[in-house]
């Protein structure tokens, strides 16, 4: 989808992703001329895990949230297969020297691994969040890979949306809401006071996936647009530059 038309008088954009992506997204939204509002839906805390008794031959990252945990588990010269370009960039910034990127989803990540390595020769360490990466691990095992999946971080829903954000929603100062995952969209909606939901649902939701779109539509959003690719760059391209 090309850049949207912007019929709104307000220039507020709500960003619901947690760190480490929150800050860089806020900067990008501001540079595009919008007023960015931070309202992370999840609180992330990295786990500290010991290295495996039998070291892996490659590391699989389904999220950049897992990088902090990975740094304490494996050597930086271990090949890293990342779910998308931004996760790959963050892995490189953390010191990993052999990093390969899929195109933003688990299916692409599986295809990348199948294309680049011989299953019978690889012991994969797959780091993900709780409840995530299970299907990917199963599919990789079916291809012949030896896979150890570990939970590298906790993602806890926020208890409530900040009063300042609620005030901006009530005032009609937010035109767009950016949702980066089904998990974070569900958490954000649940943390929002029920009487504020109609105000939030009047914004246009920009999302990364069909699953996320389903959640916000079920919550009451009428205007929902899905990025052409499941990454922040595509979502920001969909938002485009503020016309004000």
Exposure on the CB side of residue 117, measured as CA atoms within 13 A: 23
- Rounded Cα distance between 237 and 228, Å, is 9
Same domain, 52 and 110: yes
Same domain, 33 and 54: no
- Residue 189 placed within a domain: no
Q: Which of 226, 225, 18 is nearest to 104 (CA)?
A: 226
pLDDT for the residue 131: 84
pLDDT for the residue 2: 47
pLDDT for the residue 118: 86
Same domain, 54 and 31: no
With a cut of 50, list the residues of the chain below it in pLDDT: 1-2
Same domain, 64 and 103: yes
CATH code of the domain in which 138 resides: 3.40.50.10090
Same domain, 64 and 149: yes
Same domain, 76 and 61: yes
The arrangement of strands across the sheet holding 42-46 comes to: 42-46, 146-157, 123-129, 58-61, 80-82, 99-101
Same domain, 68 and 15: no
- Rounded Cα distance between 19 and 28, Å, is 14
Same domain, 55 and 141: yes
pLDDT for the residue 7: 53
Same domain, 127 and 55: yes
pLDDT for the residue 204: 97
- Specify whether the CB–CB gap between 52 and 125 falls below 8 A: yes
Same domain, 55 and 121: yes
- Rounded Cα distance between 183 and 2, Å, is 26
Q: In terms of residue numbers, what domain contains 113? A: 46-154
> Domain total for the chain?
2
Phi, psi of 40 (to 5 degrees): -60, 135
Q: Which residues of 206-231 are buried (b: 16+ CB within 10 A; e: fewer)?
A: bbbbeebbebbeebebeebbbbebbb
- Residue 237 placed within a domain: no
User: In the numeric block, which tokens belong to residue 133?
Assistant: 């990466």
- Rounded Cα distance between 82 and 103, Å, is 9
Global pTM exceeds 0.75: yes
Tokens 């899905």, residue located: 226
Same domain, 54 and 129: yes
- Residue 101 placed within a domain: yes
pLDDT for the residue 1: 42
Same domain, 121 and 150: yes
pLDDT for the residue 18: 93
- Specify whether the CB–CB gap between 73 and 51 falls below 8 A: yes
């Amino acid at each position: 989808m090309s850049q949207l038309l912007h019929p709104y008088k307000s220039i507020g954009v709500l960003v619901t992703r947690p760190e480490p992506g929150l800050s860089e997204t806020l900067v990008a939204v501001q540079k595009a001329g919008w007023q960015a509002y931070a309202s992370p839906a999840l609180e992330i805390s990295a786990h500290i895990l010991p290295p495996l008794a039998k070291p892996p031959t490659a590391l699989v990252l389904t999220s950049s949230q897992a990088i902090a945990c990975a740094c304490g588990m494996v050597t930086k010269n271990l090949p890293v297969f990342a779910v998308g370009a931004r996760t790959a960039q963050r892995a490189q910034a953390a010191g990993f020297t052999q990093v390969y990127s899929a195109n933003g989803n688990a299916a692409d990540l599986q295809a990348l691994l199948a294309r680049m390595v011989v299953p019978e020769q690889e012991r994969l360490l797959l780091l993900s969040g709780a409840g995530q990466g299970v299907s990917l691990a199963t599919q990789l095992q079916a291809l012949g890979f030896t896979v150890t999946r570990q939970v590298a971080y906790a993602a806890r829903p926020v208890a409530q949306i900040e009063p300042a954000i609620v005030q901006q929603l009530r005032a009609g100062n937010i035109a767009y809401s950016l949702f980066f995952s089904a998990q974070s969209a569900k958490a954000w909606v649940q943390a929002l006071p029920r009487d504020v939901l109609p105000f939030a649902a009047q914004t246009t939701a920009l999302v990364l996936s069909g699953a996320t779109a389903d959640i916000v539509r079920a919550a009451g959003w009428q205007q929902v647009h899905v990025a052409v690719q499941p990454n922040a760059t595509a979502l920001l391209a969909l938002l485009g530059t503020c016309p004000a």
